[in-house]
Each structure stands twice: as C-alpha cells, then as structure tokens.
Amino acid sequence: MPPSIQALTHTYFRHNKRFPHVWCPGCGNGIVMGALLRAITRLELEKDEIVLASGIGCSGRMPTYLDFNTLHTTHGRALTFATGIKLANPALNVVAIMGDGDATAIGGNHLIHAARRNLNLTAIIINNSIYGMTGGQYSPTTPFGSTTTTSVYGHIEHAFSIAELAVTAGASFVARSTVYHAALADQLIEQAMMKPGFAVVEIISNCHVQYGRRNKIGNAVEMLTAFKEQAVTVKKAATMEQKELQGKVTIGVLADRDLPVSTDEYKKIRERARAAQEES
C-alpha cells in the first residue's frame, strides 16, 4: 500500500512555514513532488541525508516546501552545486530538481557534462515544454509549430528530447514518465536514487496555464489525458515503426548501465596521490 498523502505531508512538508505554495492549481509539479516523496519513503532514507537542489523556475520552488537539506540555486546551475555537495560529502543523497529550460537551455552544458562525468547524483527534470514562471516563452522542448509568448507566429525551432540527450551524454540511468503515470514516476525515481552513477528521470508535465491553454490542448485534466494517449512503453515502442512513433512519448527505462562512478573512482585517486606523496 502506498503511503497516504496525509502521511507524506505530515512527514515531509514544512507545513507550518511555507504554505500556501506558489504553483497554479492543477500544476504537474505537485505530482512530481508526491512521486519523489513516495520514492524516498520506500527507500527509507533519513531526511538528514537528503539534499534537494533546484534551479530557477516554477520547479525551482519545490525544495522550499520540503524538510530536507534544501538548496535553491541560480538558473540552470543546480547540477553544479549538487556536484560540489556530493564531492564534499559523498554520504549525502543528492537530488537535483530542474525544469526543461533550466536543465537544457541555460543549464544544458552542465547536464551533458554531469551525465558524462557520472557522479552518483539523481536529476529529475520536469519537462512542461515552456517557461512557466516568466510567462510562457518557448523553451528547448517546445514542439515545432506551437504558440508561445515569444513565438506567436508559430515556433520554428526543433525540440530536444531530454531523455535521449541524457542517454547519448552517457548517464548511467535514464528514464521517462509523465505526470499522468504518477505511479511509474515514483518507481523510476526510486530506481534512479538507488542507481550508482548519474541518473536522469524526465517527467513530462503540464503547464496548462502557460502552454495548454495557448495551444488549445486545454486544462490540466485535458493535458493529462493527452499524455495518457501519447505515452507508449519502451517495450511497446521497440515493436513499433518509426512512423507510428511520431507524436508519441516513450515511457519507462531508456538506459540502465553499469559504468565507473566518479565519486568511487576518486577514492582510488586519493590512494594514488597518498602513495605518490609517501614515495617522494
């Protein structure tokens, strides 16, 4: 039985301090937050050993509400701060929470290098295809042809596929879900947090306020329904033609591979350095 919402909020929310939250009613950010908390509960992690670091944007406010060691960094930089925290204290379980603009536009360089570097970190990227907080401008994941406040005549650039980008950049674990598939999302986050190495979970989410309405997809419920229809499991996708996959979103685990983890490798560097110093 999954833990009740009430149990989760009592355990993890800074309820006497930081509520009401800033998110619009129906925003997918709340579902991702719930998924993260369910994963943490199942993993039986202590609150003291978790660091939750965010960047800037609607997603960036998540750490404010949760009773962990929390950090709200600059735009796009969550992974750089997370890298320093993890290296300085590898015993901490460090999770970076980011939005699509945050992680793949201004922070795109940090994302690919974090994946390549393979520190033992977890990155959760909430992808709602838009800059929500600043008023609905196009992001690196805004689909071709859509309308945003900076592409009122139609968007002429092509969207990144975040999970595929992370696979190519070398992350140890890469998975994708949508906020409709909330139970899958928490399983994937749990797997990601357990995985040694850099783990990325992309969660397709709804910003009905800035994206859904403007692109005639509709309100939160209608956007979630659309995610349900677009989603295809990785297993099923493998049996489908490229043409059939147009407009679909593959969900599940896209990559799970055992690679040397730099946080562990560095221990060997320390041994080598000590040995070299003793010799000299």
Partner 1 sequence: MSEEIHARRLLQGNEAIVQGALAARCRFFAGYPITPASEIAEQLSVRLPAVNGTFIQMEDEIASIGAVIGASLAGGKAMTATSGPGFSLMQENLGFACAAEVPCVIVNVMRGGPSTGLPTSPAQGDVQMARWGTHGDHSIIVLAVSSVLDSFIMTVRAFNLAEKYRVPVIILSDEVVAHTRESVELPLKSEVKVVDRIAPGMPPDWYKPYQEDARGVPPMAAFGDGYRHHVTGLVHDQDGFPTQNPQEVEKFHQRLSMKITKGLPDIQLTRKFHMDDAELFVVAYGSVARSAMRAVEEARMAGIRAGLVQLITLFPFPRRTLTPYLQQCHSVLVPELNLGQISREVQRVNQGQCTVVKQNRVDGRLITPQEIYNRLVKLSSGRLS
Is 277 a binder of partner 1 (CB under 8 A)?
yes
User: In whole angstroms, what is the distance from residue 267 CA to residue 273 CA?
Assistant: 10
CB of 128 to partner 1, least distance (A): 21
User: In whole angstroms, what is the distance from residue 107 CA to residue 105 CA?
Assistant: 5
CB of 23 to ligand SF4, least distance (A): 4
Residue 266 interacts, among partner 1, ligand SF4, none and using kind-specific CB cut-offs from 5 to 8 Å, with: partner 1
User: In whole angstroms, what is the distance from residue 115 CA to residue 278 CA?
Assistant: 34
Which of 189, 178, 159, 166 lies closest to 251, judged by CA? 178
Residue 170 interacts, among partner 1, ligand SF4, none and using kind-specific CB cut-offs from 5 to 8 Å, with: none
Is 27 a binder of ligand SF4 (CB under 6 A)?
yes
Pattern of binders to ligand SF4 over 136-175, x per CB under 6 A? ----------------------------------------
Interaction residues for ligand SF4, span 113-132 (CB under 6 A): 128, 132
Tell me which stretch binds partner 1 (CB under 8 A): 33-41, 47-55, 146-154, 211-219: 47-55
User: In whole angstroms, what is the distance from residue 165 CA to residue 250 CA?
Assistant: 14
Residue 42: other Cβ atoms inside 10 A: 16
Tell me which stretch binds ligand SF4 (CB under 6 A): 102-110, 116-124, 182-190, 201-209: 201-209
Q: Considering only residues 54, 148, 187, 210, which one is a binding residue for ligand SF4 as defined by CB under 6 A?
A: 210
Which of 38, 11, 26, 21 lies closest to 211, judged by CA? 26
Is 64 a binder of partner 1 (CB under 8 A)?
yes
Q: What is the DSSP letter of 208?
A: I
Residue 58 CA: distances (Å) to CA of 6, 53, 88, 128, 178: 23, 13, 28, 10, 17
CB of 4 to partner 1, least distance (A): 23
The values of phi and psi at residue 77, to 5°, are: -100, 5
Is 58 a binder of ligand SF4 (CB under 6 A)?
yes
Residue 16 CA: distances (Å) to CA of 21, 52, 110, 197, 267: 12, 19, 35, 35, 41
Residues engaged in binding ligand SF4 (CB under 6 A): 23-24, 27, 29, 58, 128, 132-133, 207-210
- Interacting residue ranges for partner 1, rule: CB under 8 A: 17-18, 47-49, 51, 53, 63-64, 67-74, 77, 80-89, 91-92, 109-110, 113, 266, 269-270, 272-274, 276-277
